[in-house]
Amino acid sequence: MLTKWVGRLIGINVALYMLGYLPGTGQLLNNFVLVPGAEFLVRPWTLVTYAFLHGGFMHLLFNMIGLFFFGPRLEDRLGSRSFLQLYAWGVIGGAVFHFLPLILGSAVPPVIGASGAIYGIVICFAMLWPRERIYLWMVVPVPAWLLASVLVFGALFAGITAQSGSNVAHLAHFGGALCAGVYLRTLRLKYQAKQRQYKAIVKDTKDILTKMTASEVEYWSKVDLDTLHAVNREEVERLLAKARQGDRILTGTEVETLRRLALQLKT
């Protein structure tokens, strides 16, 4: 089932591909192609828009298949906002890595396509569900971690060894995967930090001093402590003695212990 942003992204990509067949639209769409170098400086929006254009039907098809199969579960897990941000990281990361050969003085061709973002989605899927079986060509089962590893290292190797003039943006694929993976890792670290903070708050809450009610004090004054297990009896005697010394003041955890034991005695 398509999720909100997966459906929208597929719709936008397909619509723009179909738009390219209308007379007079070719030159218009060229304004959204990412061209590394000086031309990028006057068309900075192409850092994002290049990912919504495709050079052919098969290019579009394979990218949308990847988005269709891997995207919905990822969006369900992360939420629509975080999923869209992850997709954007893949798009922008792909563009930045496509620029890298310029540093070495190599020629870099224009680039279009959502492949960097799709690589990012596949890698993030594998990070969350590494042992999930993916059926290549609907027949060959491979674990998600293996598929992701082959894609990432294959793209990196191809990007390093590719001859000048290659029409496949291997480094864009690698960059999209890497940046989306880093984003997901950052999300997970933030979530873990919040979990630790929450647990600390809960722990602190349990340690907040709490006053026993008068009815609780009266109840325990009537209980024959000899009916308790020796371990429980010693704990109850200790807590009641502490409560008497401190005007019925105990920690939240200690009060809960007395209430739990009282409930056991009543049942």
Q: Which residues pair with 142 in a beta bridge?
A: 134
Residue 173 is a catalytic residue = yes
Tell me which H or E stretch contains 251: strand 249-251
Is 106 annotated as catalytic? no
Distance, in Å, from the CA atom of 100 to the CA atom of 97, rounded to the nearest integer, reads 5
Residue with tokens 């310029």: 102
d(CA 166, CA 106): 12
Which of 54, 98, 115, 170 is labelled catalytic? 115
Task: Print burial letters for 35-53: b (CB count within 10 Å at least 16), e (below 16).
Answer: bbeeebeebeebbebbbbb
Active-site entry in 59, 173, 221, 229: 173
> What distances in angstroms separate CA 192 from CA 76, 129, 183, one per listed residue?
19, 18, 14
Active site amino acids: 115, 173
